[in-house]
Amino acid sequence: MFELFHIGFLSFTLIDLIDVGIVTLLFYAVYRVLKDTVAVQILLGLVLILGISFITEAVNFKSLNWILRAISDVWLIAFIILFQPELRRILLLITRSRLFRLFVRSNITETIDEVIDAAKELSEKHIGVLIVFTRTQNVKMTIDSGIPLQAVVFKELLVLIFNPRSLLYDGVVIIEN
């Protein structure tokens, strides 16, 4: 491997540089998400407990080290419970990223193409429609009426729904996900 420099018995390679860069970007992304939230204070408290546990292990404080190890046994569960809103936000940001959309792009493109085809046909029939795409917004709280359908979006379904004589017709379709 291409060695950048050597310090004593340690060698620093290009792979190490890339690794440090990726970890730095991950920490920065987490910081940006958690910035201006209560989670930063909780995270600092957890880091402080972790630092104290390293010190107690190095100094060989047996009882204090045992207590901190017992806390660390439930560390992951406590982390998930305490940071649930922030973890959810991080996952939403990941799914909205360009990189993630590269993998899911075909599904979204097919849906949009079907909606465009349906809109063209409905326009030719002089039928006005409103089609709403929700990305991450939860619209269930603002919708009082309507009939939920769990269906794949395709042109024929939209044309059928927007038929003025149809029981489902109210002029609006909300497409989620």
pTM of the shown model: 0.42
Domains in the chain: how many in total?
A: 2
- Given 47, 76, 96, the domain boundary residue is 96
Domain harbouring 139, CATH code: 3.40.1700.10
Domain region containing 45: 3-96
Tens digits of per-residue pLDDT, 59-96? 999 998 888 878 777 877 877 887 788 778 777 777 76
Looking at 50, 68, 96, which one is the last position of a domain? 96
122 and 54 fall within a common domain: no
Predicted pLDDT at 22: 95
164 and 117 in a common domain: yes
CA dihedral 77, 78, 81, 84 (to 10 degrees): -90
If one compares 99 and 74, the residue with the highest pLDDT of the two is: 74
Q: Measured on CA atoms in the order 133, 137, 33, 53, is the torsion positive or negative?
A: negative
Question: Half-sphere exposure of 128 toward its Cβ, with a 13 Å CA cutoff?
Answer: 0
